[in-house]
Amino acid sequence: MAVPVDVIPRRPTLLVIVVLSLLFVLMSFSNQTRYVGETRTLFERAVMTIFSPVPRFVNWVGGAAQDIHYGYLDMRRAVNENVELRRKVASLTTENLKLRQSGSDMRRLRSLLAYSEQFEFETSMAETIMLDTAGRFKSIIIDRGSAEGVEVNDVIANANGLIGRVVLTTNDLAKVQLVTDNNCSVGALVERTRRQGVVRGNGGTIVQMFDIPSLADVQPGDRVLTAGIDGIFPKGIPIGNIVRAEPGQSLFKTVTVRPAVDFGKIEEVIVIHTRKIPPLVVRYAP
């Protein structure tokens, strides 16, 4: 395609020769200054100064992009680490709880063991698997039955005190009547004065001590133990503490005893095998 004549410059060759000559001189000058240590001429420095914002901006953008990129990677890594650490924390917390539980169990079992060694009877350990302390008939179920030697009228206690007696056994389980049950009676004595009486449950959370004469020295705070006179419960097992001792309408006092055992928190128990008590006595026991 032909181009109009007025578009073609008239003396371009002269111009380009002049420009190239000047550039050659500049190059030669620049080449000479390279060897005397002045590697940047004034003109070169001026061009660099004018355009220096561009590389600086590119460098800044590149740095920012790298920061964002690595920041994102670091964040992802941190998030993953966080998830991993949370998992570890959950796992360690569970383990810690288990260890605490084990420690607590061990302390409790040790105290139970130490307590059980006081008895002259054969004892064994059992664990509560069911707890019915809310109803009128207070009972618990333990995980030892006749197969493990548990028999009716075996006494159940823990480190705090008396719990009750076995009223029914199966091969694997045993039902225990608590001392707070309406139908449970225990021969008892006041530790301080050795005054004897009978402790009976009333279906509530506390028990009553009967047959304490009005003139007997019985005060709130006195400790009540089993007396060992009923043919079932061995002597000396703590039943509770007297919380109220008031004169009754007859010859006897009305004595209220708070059980030593918290029946809502029974876990491991000691089964005291009272086999040496004659079966005949057991049969007529309350």
| Binding region for other proteins (CB under 8 A) | 1, 3, 6-12, 15-16, 19-20, 23-24, 26-28, 30-31, 34, 40-41, 43-44, 47-48, 51, 54-55, 57-59, 62
Minimum separation from the CB atom of position 14 to other proteins (A): 10
- 186 bridge partner residues: 199
The three-class DSSP label of residue 284 is coil
Q: Residue 9 or 286: which CB sits closer to other proteins?
A: 9
106/18 Cα distance (integer angstroms): 103
CB of 81 to other proteins, least distance (A): 29
**Closer CB to other proteins, 63 or 286, in the complex:** 63
From the CB of 49, what's the least distance to other proteins, in Å?
9
Please count the CA atoms within 13 angstroms of the CA of 253 that sit on its side-chain side: 23
Q: Write down the least CB distance from residue 37 to other proteins, Å.
A: 15
For residues 61 and 79, which CB has a smaller minimum distance to other proteins in the complex? 61
CB of 31 or CB of 249, closer to other proteins? 31
DSSP calls for 120-176: SSEEEEEEEEEEE-SSSS-EEEES--GGGT--TT-EEE-SS-EEEEEEEE-SS-EEE
Kindly tell me which of 36 and 54 has the beta carbon lying closer to other proteins.
Answer: 54
Given a contact cutoff of 8 angstroms between Cβ atoms, the answer to whether 220 and 245 are in contact is: yes
Toward other proteins, which CB reaches closer, 59 or 183? Answer: 59
User: Considering beta carbons, is residue 44 or 262 the nearer one to other proteins?
Assistant: 44
* 198's tokens: 């009978």
Structure tokens given for 70: 């690595």
Please say which residue, 1 or 215, places its beta carbon nearer to other proteins: 1
Q: Please, is 19 exposed, middle or buried when counting C-beta atoms within 10 Å of its C-beta (0-12, 13-18, 19+)? A: exposed
Angle between the 42-51 and 53-116 helix axes, to the nearest 10 degrees?
50
In a 13 Å sphere around the CA of 156, the CA atoms on its Cβ side amount to 32
Residues 6+ apart with CB under 8 A from 194: none
How many other C-beta atoms are found inside a 10 Å radius of the C-beta of residue 203?
A: 13
Nearest approach, Cβ of residue 76 and other proteins (Å): 22
